Amino acid sequence: MLRSHARRVSALALGVALLVLAAPAVALARTQTATSGAVTATFTFTTTSHFTYPTKSLTISRAGQVVYDQPVSSSFCGPAGQAQAYCAPGAPEAGQSSVHVLDLEPGGEPEVVLDLFTGGAHCCSVEQVFSFDPGTGIYAMSQHDFGDPGERIADLGHNGRLEFLTADDTFAYAFTAYAVSGLPIEILTFANGQFTNVTRQYPKLIAKDAAAYFKLFEQHVGDGVGVLAAWAADEDNLGHEALVSATLAKEQKAGDLRNPGGLAGKRFIRALNKLLKRDGYVN
């Protein structure tokens, strides 16, 4: 199953925004449902003309019996109160459902996956996964913040196992402006209540990502250091540390690691190596 997200609300002109803010908040209820086998999940929320979602709830039934019925909230959206009101369904403005029932662990009990959006510039797609424990008969929730890149759920290995295809949002703003930052590919799986980074199990996808970023660098897209950083992360994930070191040294000597007003040259290389080591791209 492939699933993509369109989660960005267009900016409003000032005059329109003022009219919206002046209008009374009218709450409209929405209900979304997903089913797989004996499991049915129903996501209900209300929305207002102020682009808030004051109430959100999730109900999960197994063979027609309700076993989970709770309000929806996320620690990634901030503390209780108004912050949670801005914690939105994943993509209601695009007409897409935010609730899914998927078998993330083949052969097991299907999980309920709920898409949320925290709001804000370049932020943030959250996935909540509800897993059933046959021993206790209850659902436990796990969640992951996929940041601005969001994610796509796909069977990348063509083996019946679903993965979360995303990108490493820690590279955003790390060396340059967001618009010219490169975000290296990242792939996660979900099992036993945990998200696990399995990116290195997909070398062909990593190599494709690396080639695309190096092409952008050669085409002098932006200041260059942002996309070269993503390329370096990809290549390190492939075990090409010597290639990365040699390429960075060559480009620095040639004066191609430019970044007006930001990290450039040797300073950029030092900062990049620190991030790559901190985040496990190199030992």
- Residue 6: inside a domain, yes or no? no
- Residue 1: inside a domain, yes or no? no
Q: How far apart are CA 112 and CA 36, in angstroms?
A: 9
Considering Cα of 178, then 179, then 181, then 182, what sign does the dihedral take?
positive
- Residue 168: inside a domain, yes or no? yes
- Residue 106: inside a domain, yes or no? yes
Please check the confidence at residue 227 and state whether its pLDDT lies above 90.
Answer: yes
CA atoms within 13 A on the CB side of 263: 18
Q: Are residues 169 and 100 in the same domain?
A: no
Q: How far apart are CA 186 and CA 194, in angstroms?
A: 16
- Residue 104: inside a domain, yes or no? yes
In this prediction, residues 81-100 reach a mean pLDDT of: 80
Q: Are residues 136 and 238 in the same domain?
A: no
In this prediction, residues 59-82 reach a mean pLDDT of: 91
Q: Are residues 43 and 139 in the same domain?
A: yes
Question: Of 120, 145, 170, which residue is a domain's last?
Answer: 145
Q: Are residues 222 and 265 in the same domain?
A: yes
Q: Are residues 242 and 133 in the same domain?
A: no
pLDDT in tens, 38-66: 999 999 999 887 778 889 999 999 999 99
| Centroid of chain to Cα 241 | 27
pLDDT in tens, 105-144: 877 789 999 999 988 777 889 999 999 998 899 999 999 9
Range of the domain at 57: 27-145
Q: Are residues 120 and 53 in the same domain?
A: yes
Work out the pLDDT band at 190, boundaries 50, 70, 90: very high
Q: Are residues 216 and 176 in the same domain?
A: yes
Tally of structural domains, the chain: 2
Q: How far apart are CA 165 and CA 153, in angstroms?
A: 6
Name the one residue in this structure whose structure tokens are 């002098």. 220
Question: Of 114, 145, 176, which residue is a domain's last?
Answer: 145
Q: Do 140 and 133 meet the contact criterion of CB atoms below 8 Å apart?
A: yes
Question: Of 86, 112, 145, which residue is a domain's last?
Answer: 145
- Residue 3: inside a domain, yes or no? no
Q: Are residues 161 and 138 in the same domain?
A: no
Q: How far apart are CA 236 and CA 207, in angstroms?
A: 11
Q: Are residues 130 and 198 in the same domain?
A: no
- Residue 246: inside a domain, yes or no? yes
pLDDT in tens, 199-211: 999 999 999 999 9
Q: How far apart are CA 157 and CA 7, in angstroms?
A: 27
Residue 29, Cβ density class (10 Å: 0-12 exposed, 13-18 middle, ≥19 buried)? exposed
Closest-CA residue to 143 (of 87, 183, 202):
87
- Residue 8: inside a domain, yes or no? no
Q: Are residues 96 and 183 in the same domain?
A: no
Q: Are residues 267 and 155 in the same domain?
A: yes
Residues whose CB is less than 8 angstroms from the CB of residue 147 and which lie 6 or more positions away in sequence, other chains included: 122, 123, 124, 125, 169, 172
Q: Are residues 109 and 174 in the same domain?
A: no
Name the one residue in this structure whose structure tokens are 């010597």. 242
